[in-house]
Amino acid sequence: MTTSVSKARATRQKVGAADSSGAVQSLNRGLLLLERIAESGRNGVTLTDLALQVGLAASTTHRLLNTLEQAGFVRKDPELGLWYIGLKAFSVGNAFLASRDVVMQARPYMKRLMEQAGETVNLAVENKGAAVYVAQVECVEMMRMIVRLGGRAPIHASAVGKGLMAWMNEEQVTQALQHQGLQRLTPQTITTMAALQADLELIRQRGYSYDLEEHTIGLHCVSSPIFNEHGEPIAGLSLSGPKARVTFERLPELGLLVNRVASEITEAIGGTLPTVSSRSRLGQAG
């Protein structure tokens, strides 16, 4: 409850700041509702919880939701009373993905990586302490990893998340972790800062990261980041599969392969690989 109240207070401050700058109040509130519904994912969210989260009266929240529903941006399950993201919002999100050069330019490289490794390849970005999947090329194996576009994985418990975090400074890491902390998802999940920092240092040294059943039992992942023109991580390329195929023996080979393809994508989008001196960035203030 304390978290919800704090979130609602922060949201009210955000609304007030937007209103003082001349933004249309109802539009700003509607967009905040969309954000909260999107964060709920497949679980959905009730009107009462939404009203609390955005700091609005239930009647005002209901009126805004009805408007969004009529436009197709949200939908309601009449039996459960839960609100979900609608088809129109999905279409708008896809338009965003299509406009990002990194997604479009990465696809042929992802397809080649899938064919070389024989496992599913993903592309993800960091958002509010989570790795958000924005593209995927599935392998042909019967047992394979499948994630929905827009699906989220905790940044500390995913190879792609840790790969991105390894190139953040201390302040950025703290901000990323404040959303979910170091929540234990499996017996293999890293749950202490000391262990996480040690893992991030290893990631910087070798250029790729592992998720060894830290998010899902039976699943292994390997990832390497893609950098922009400033040498900053903007996306993560990952390869995932059951540990029966992505074995411990194959991990170094697959890591080097993912790292090489990620470097090729970085070059294709005009990015720059971090210099040797930047390997000590973690621990420095931003």
pLDDT digits (tens, 9 = 90+) for 239-260: 999 988 989 999 999 999 999 9
pLDDT for the residue 283: 42
Which residue matches tokens 């790729």?
208
Burial class (CB in 10 A: 0-12, 13-18, 19+), 38: middle
List the beta bridge partners of residue 209.
223
- Diameter over CA atoms, the chain: 59
Task: Please state the φ and ψ torsions of residue 269, each to the nearest 5 degrees.
Answer: -95, 5
Cβ proximity of 267 and 224 under 8 Å:
no
Which residue matches tokens 């109040």?
25
Q: What average pLDDT does this structure show over 270-276?
A: 79
Please state which architecture CATH assigns to domain 100-280: 2-Layer Sandwich (3.30)
Cα gap 94→90, rounded to integer Å: 6
pLDDT for the residue 153: 87
Q: What average pLDDT does this structure show over 150-157?
A: 86
Tokens of 122: 């993903």
pLDDT for the residue 127: 85
Write down the domain spans for the chain. 2-90, 100-280
**Does the structural domain 2-90 have CATH classification 1.10.10.10?**
yes
Instruction: Establish whether domains 2-90 and 100-280 are of one fold.
Output: no
DSSP-based three-state secondary structure for 160: helix
pLDDT digits (tens, 9 = 90+) for 101-147: 788 889 999 999 999 999 999 999 988 888 888 899 987 776 666 66
List the beta bridge partners of residue 46.
82
Residues 6+ apart with CB under 8 A from 249: none
169: how many CB neighbours lie within 10 A of its CB? 13
Is 181's pLDDT higher than 70?
yes
pLDDT for the residue 179: 78
For residue 114, the surrounding DSSP H or E stretch is: helix 101-117
Which residue matches tokens 């839960």?
82
Q: Which residue in 275, 249, 255, 241 sits closest to 203, CA to CA? A: 255
75: how many CB neighbours lie within 10 A of its CB? 19
Is 43's pLDDT higher than 50?
yes
**Model's pTM, two decimal places?**
0.64
Look at the chain and count its residues. Answer: 286
